[in-house]
Structure 1
Amino acid sequence: MSTLLTAQSISYHVTSGSILEAVSFTLNQGDRIGLIGHNGCGKSTLLKLLDGTISDYHGALTRANHSLIERVEQHLPVDLNHVTMIDAVLDRLPPAERLAEAWRAEVLLAEMGFTEQDWSLTAGTLSGGQHTRLLLARALIRQPDLLLLDEPSNHMDLPTLLWLEDFLTRWKGSFVLVSHDQYLLDQVTNCTWIMRDKQLQFFRLPCSQARQALAEQDLADEHRYQSEQKEINRLEKSAKRLATWGKVYDNEDLARKAKQMDKRVDRLKDSQTQLTAGTPWQLTLKGEALPANRLLSMTALEVRPAPEAEPLFEVISQQLKSGDRVAILGRNGAGKSSLLRLLWQRYQDAADNAGNSQTSSLAFHPQLRLGYYDQRLAQLTDQDTLMDALRPFAPLTDELRKMALISAGFPYVRHQERVATLSGGERSRLLFIGLTLANYHLLFLDEPTNHLDLEGKEELAETLQTFAGGCLLVSHDRALIEQSCNRFWLVHDGKLEEWHDLDRLYAKLSGQNTADPVAGHLPTDLIEIHDTVTDFTESDVSDPQAQISEDEQLLTRLMALESLLEDDLARKAKHQKPKLQRTWRDEIEQINLALGLA
């Protein structure tokens, strides 16, 4: 296994402080590394160190002579906005090679899903997901040994994300992938780097297993720290007692022993196990169930990006009640966010019109309290201070608002800063603080994970699972969707449909042929069994032995499914498979219906 690069005691400092301190690692051919860590910890900085963009670091970074490294940026470079796609790819080659290698650029763009008509489009007119594909083509035309990918899944819709997963699975080279999408990382990586406390933890494991290993390491460190602290406390107490006796009895020997013990305490403190600083903020959302049959209902509702624009799709008939956590899925531009903005605007209009929330196409419960996370973070006013920005969410005292800001990592000295000075991640955190302080019956969450790290995503999924009200969620994060949602709406071909089988829905989004949403309620193997039973019932009722045979098949399958479900539920929660459990339960329910046991 050949080495692509090695780092020895790499340290990097900026004006606000150090980002890396004495970090060492080796990256070998065949390594497919997921790089994770809290927002702002320095992941993008590390990629720039690896490809040579940043050179003012301390330590030694050695790249193999034969290896070629290419970095795929988060955003399209400004100087490419007015360049055609084909020229943007060829721009990565020396001028003398561009004409002869034009065919390779065309092949790469075709592999990235672009048609020949697309090649003449200027890069600045493309969507975020298309930018990532174009930047990948620019990197691949140089045939690199190592790809550095900086959050390529950000702002991707689910179909493009599925394409990226397939691309990275087939990619034969090595890569370092920065991402907060644990599902993606688990599918495509075999190693994990975790940036934390200005250090780099390395695990030859995919993301979820690496995080579990780090958690176990943290627990062992905590136990070791407590044991060391217990010994330090004992020695400090003994030293203090000896020092007191030395004074009382004027005994130099006791005083000398006390000083020796103090030195030993100092050495123990210097070598004491270091614990992670962690993160001070935990995302929680409190909701309240409204005792009513529905929170909102939609009938023949047309969704438009703007009032004068053509409709993007129509909601024929849908209702939502407390306990419903609905994921809205579809391609970018389908109108998912437009639906949430339309509902939010209608809700605000109803509040302005003395609670009149009924129209022919849309009805809110008159007592409904609605919260909205807009991916544009538009609920926050730039000129407000952090304290003032929280006032519209809940009628609380200034003291409670101060405590909420401090607990979320905003120290007191920052409370009078303007919202305009915050980073995207900080604005997102401030908006979540506001939603946390309130107590809503219904939440609209539009791409809430764009600025969340892995821990924040998990906290969001966990808090949504126990959210007492209802929720409409627009997201392309499969882990969040699968862990927190119990209903699934697909915006496709000008209409909104409800699906119950996520695997079939994903297949639909990735362009595979799949059944309609009604057939999607049944797993594939059960559809075949059900069709067999239906055919038998209609044509072979005169043969009771055939009926017994079909029933026995269903009963055998039922017993096997119940055994699988029971065994999985007996495992520890972290080892269980909720997605499979849901599939098994659906199939058990359908078999019971077919046998008349339900």
Structure 2
Amino acid sequence: MATISLRNAGLRSGTMLFSNLTFSLADGDRVGLVAPNGRGKSTLLRALLGNAELSEGEVTRSRGLTVGYVPQDVPDDVLAVPLRDFVEAGLPPALRETEGWRADVALDSLGFPIDLVSRPMGELSGGWQRLALIARGWVNEPDLLLLDEPTNHLDLGRIIELEAWLSALPRQTMVVMASHDREFLDATTNRTLFLRAETSHLFPLAYSSARVALDEADQAAEQQRQRDLKEVVQLRKQAAKLTNIGINSGSDLLTVKSKQLRDRAERIESQVVAVHREKTGKVMLGNSGADARVMLAFENVVVDTPDGLPLFSIEKLHIFQGERVVLLGRNGAGKSQFMRILTAALAGDGPAGLRLSPQIAAGYLDQALAWLPLNKTPLDYIVSNFDEGDRRSIALLAGAGFDPDRQEKPIRLLSLGQRARLALLALRLQKPNFYLLDEPTNHLDIPGQEQLEADIAEHGATCVLVSHDRRFVRGVGTRFLQIMGRRLREVDGPDAFFTEMAERP
């Protein structure tokens, strides 16, 4: 039986990211690795692979253990390599000539069409590149498969197909995956590891059940903390009382007893663990308000491709203030083009059949975050674009999770998750009453997703959004529009569409 284990593992990068991590993997374990951005998930995966060093502890692998690794991004030096060659290179060199057929099997199992097999990696879309990385990681059918954000760049259909693919792996295969997709974690894992600086938690449960158990553990820890602090207060009161009595009576025994009580109080106080609260940074979105009842009105609008081919039509549609409209549709149905039309209309260049309320103050967040000035620092960007002043801008960035060092780094050096938080802060400072959100959770960690859901729901702003995140769609949407048969139709909710995507051939 192949196994791998960590003992007293810890990782420090300026501050402690996680510590005292001890666990073992055995056949059939499917572990979801959960932590905010920048807390060491990728480094831990590479340490399990043997390509990174931890600050503390050790990794032990059983003899003969084979490991497949799927990083987040395709290396630049393989962009010219044909897809099949890239996947075959995941095999040991001695096997490539005799067992190269494994590359074909891996590609076929992940749904690659034959016309992509000979194309260079750099010509593939982000979604196909992601699946190519998975095919390469699996081509040798390893004992342990490590996946770093496996759903990145995948549309909903491909995510559901990946869930089915993972479920069909041999039962004994061990899998460890870092992901922020809550629904995906629920569908593909049977254990959940929450990485924390003080005490990490491993539960033999999929994400949602494990999250409930984590909250219960935090609540119990807080109750114990309060009891311990109360005992510390009582011990110090008793020690002070005995000290006074001992001084007045001249009793050395009471003085010694008083010191013992104080020492005990100090030991308890030093062992009290504050309940963990993730410091992910808060970016509170708001709603600047509007008096208009109808924010957008469509009448006989045709949504087409950039070269003029019709995709679907909208006969009549009103979007009212406070509605949170989710656009559903298969990949290629026209969701992106619909968002493009809305973006153009908000800039004053929409089609004739689309009317906007003059009271709209729009804020737009796209999945690429391409509009962020990569050579500016976050502080320069906020100061130069919003009338907040230096001190207020520094405070706003700190509140959004940017420590002073990160405020002065060029945006291009920030992780995609950090860029997403900066974009959300800019969106807040625009003070919109209408949000246009295109895959807003793509680079947000789970705490960030939950905060964004709460902000949108609590502040009552109008929004139109596209998202492949099923949990986010269910949590935010109040109205659902689906592209069906070249028409935009209203549906009762998203679940029938999700089921349809799961059952598609």
Tell me which residue corresponds to 1:232: 232
Q: Secondary structure at the match of 2:294?
A: coil
Q: Name which of 483, 504, 516 aligns with 2:496.
A: 504
1:166 Cα deviation (Å)?
1.1
Structure 2: gaps (5+ residues): none
Question: Given the superposition, is the C-alpha separation of residues 280 and 106 from structure 1 closer, same or farther in structure 2, using an over 3 Å criterion?
Answer: closer
Aligned to 2:345: 346
Bigger relative contact order, structure 1 or 2 (CA pairs below 8 A, ≥6 apart): 2
CA-CA distance at 1:475 after TM superposition = 1.0
Equivalent residue number for residue 436 of structure 1: 428
CA distance in 2, matches of 1:305, 1:167: 32
1:365 aligned to which of 343, 350, 357: 357
Q: When the two structures are aligned, how many residues end up with a matched partner?
A: 502
User: Share of identical aligned residues, percent?
Assistant: 34
- Whichever residue aligns with residue 4 of structure 1, its letter is T
1:384 to 1:495, Cα distance in 2 relative to 1, 3 A: farther
Query: Normalising by the residue count of structure 2, what TM-score does the alignment of the two structures yield?
Result: 0.88
Give the conservation status (yes or no) of the 8 Å contact 1:280–1:407. no
Are the structure 2 counterparts of residues 346 and 140 from structure 1 closer, same or farther at C-alpha, using a change threshold of 3 Å? same
Equivalent position SS for 2:22: strand
Q: Give me the whole-angstrom Cα distance separating, in 2, the residues matched to 1:414 and 1:93.
A: 40
Amino acid at match of 2:159: L
Please give the root-mean-square deviation of Cα atoms over the aligned residues, in Å: 3.1
Gaps of 5+ in 1: 351-357, 514-598
Partner of 1:516: none
1:190 alignment partner in structure 2 = 190
Shift of residue 22, structure 1, vs aligned partner: 3.0
- TM-score, normalised by the number of residues in structure 1: 0.76
Checking the alignment, whether the CA contact within 8 Å between 1:393 and 1:435 is kept in structure 2 is no
Residues 335, 263 of structure 1: alpha-carbon distance in 2 compared, 3 angstrom cutoff: same
AA partner of residue 480 (structure 1): F
* 3-state SS, counterpart of residue 98 of structure 2: coil
Q: Is the 8 Å Cα contact of residues 324 and 477 (structure 2) preserved in structure 1?
A: yes
Cα offsets for 1:359-393 (capped at 9, x unmatched): 62322101111111122334543455545544688
- SS, match of residue 234 in structure 1: helix
Per the alignment, in what secondary structure is the counterpart of residue 196 of structure 1?
A: coil
Does residue 218 (structure 1) correspond to residue 210 (structure 2)? The answer is: no
Q: Distance in 2 between matches of 1:74 and 1:485?
A: 29
State the shift of 1:332 in Å: 5.1
Alpha-carbon distance, 1:179 to partner: 0.9
Measured in 2, the distance between the counterparts of 1:107 and 1:117 equals 15
- Bigger radius of gyration among the two: 1
- CA deviations on 1:489-512 (whole Å, 9 max, x unpaired) are 345776644443534323444573
Give the counterpart of 1:423 among 415, 426, 431.
415
Residue in 1 that maps onto 2:33: 35
Matched, 1:328 2:327: yes
Q: Residue 69 of structure 1 aligns with which residue?
A: 67
Deviation, 1:288, is 5.0
Give the equivalent residue in structure 1 for 2:124: 126
Q: Give the aligned residue type for 1:294.
A: V
2:203 partner letter: F
Tell me, what secondary structure is at the counterpart of 1:117?
Answer: helix
Q: Offset of 1:340 from its aligned partner?
A: 2.9
Where does residue 207 of structure 1 map in the other structure?
A: 207
Decide which of 376, 386, 410 is 2:402's aligned counterpart.
Answer: 410
* Paired residue type of 1:41: R
Which amino acid is 2:208 matched to?
S
Match of 1:571 in 2: none
Q: Match of 1:532?
A: none
Cα-to-partner distance string for 1:2-23 (whole Å, 9 max, x where unaligned): 4511222223444x34444232
Q: Which residue does 1:268 correspond to in 2?
A: 268
Aligned to 1:466: 458
Residue 268 of structure 1 and its aligned partner are, at CA, apart by 1.2
How far apart, CA to CA, are the structure 2 residues paired with 1:235 and 1:511? Answer: 64
One-letter amino acid matched to 1:273:
V
Letter aligned with residue 194 of structure 2? I
Question: In structure 2, what is the Cα distance between the partners aligned to 1:489 and 1:392?
Answer: 38
Residue 109 of structure 1 is matched in structure 2 by 107
CA contact (8 A) 1:197 1:277 kept: no
1-structure distance, mates of 2:359, 2:323: 18
Match of 1:531 in 2: none
Give the corresponding residue for 1:544: none
SS at match of 2:481: strand
- Name which of structure 1's ranges 30-39 and 72-81 shifts more when overlaid on structure 2: 72-81
Structure 2 counterpart of 1:313, from 303, 311, 314? 311
Q: How many angstroms apart in 2 are the aligned matches of 1:56 and 1:259?
A: 41
Residue deviations 1:490-546, cap 9 Å, x none? Answer: 457766444435343234445738xxxxxxxxxxxxxxxxxxxxxxxxxxxxxxxxx
1:154-194 deviation digits (Å, cap 9, x = unpaired): 12111111111111122222211211111111112111111
- What displacement does 1:142 show? 0.7
**Secondary structure class of the residue paired with 1:445:** strand
Aligned residue identity for 1:141: V
Q: Given that residues 90 and 98 in structure 1 are in contact (C-alpha distance below 8 angstroms), is that contact kept between their aligned partners in structure 2? A: yes
Contact 1:7 1:60 in 2 (8 A): yes
Amino acid at match of 1:450: N
Q: Which moved more, 1:86-95 or 1:413-422?
A: 413-422
Please give the secondary structure, in 2, of the residue aligned with 1:99.
helix
Is contact 2:453–2:475 with CA below 8 Å preserved after alignment?
yes
In the alignment, is the contact (CA less than 8 A) between 2:417 and 2:445 conserved in 1? no
**CA distance 1:53–1:396, shift in 2 (3 Å):** closer
Distance 2:275 2:246 in 1: 36
After superposition, the Cα gap between the structure-2 partners of 1:280 and 1:316, relative to the gap in structure 1 and judged at 3 Å, is closer
| Counterpart code for 2:236 | E
CA distance in 1, matches of 2:31, 2:484: 35
- In the other structure, the counterpart of 2:169 is 171
